[in-house]
Amino acid sequence: MKPRKVPLRKCVACQQMMPKKELIRVVKTPQDEVQIDLTGKKSGRGAYLCGKLACFKLAHKSKALDRALKQAVHADIYQQLAQDFIRVEDDFLANKERDEDEE
């Protein structure tokens, strides 16, 4: 048993604490653009979502993302994010599996 610190973050939609690598980071850049940040390294205010479309939809409906980012997220941006979300979901899941293999 090796003690490991897993950084936990909360999904803004379902409020569950999850290991950071199992969450998708959404970031508001200093230019006030809202983007999905798969690297986790973009600067700006971040919010985390489970890598599940259901949580993304919930965040949209409840405006949880707006609150977390302290900015009204425009419907166009949600639409863009939804597309990006679907696009990154496979990569995200693939990365996750790869990480698990390394252990």
Burial 23-44 (b: 16+ CB within 10 A, else e): bbbbbbeeeeebbbbeeeebeb
Is 13 among the residues that bind Zn ion (CB under 5 A)? yes
Give residue 36's Cα distance to chain centre: 7
Q: Which of residues 44-73 bind Zn ion (CB under 5 A)?
A: 50, 55
Looking at this protein, which amino acid is placed at residue 2? K
Q: How many residues bind Zn ion (CB under 5 A)?
A: 5
Q: Which is nearer to Zn ion, 30 or 63 (CB)?
A: 63
Is 12 among the residues that bind Zn ion (CB under 5 A)? no
Q: Report the interface residues with Zn ion, using CB under 5 A.
A: 11, 13-14, 50, 55
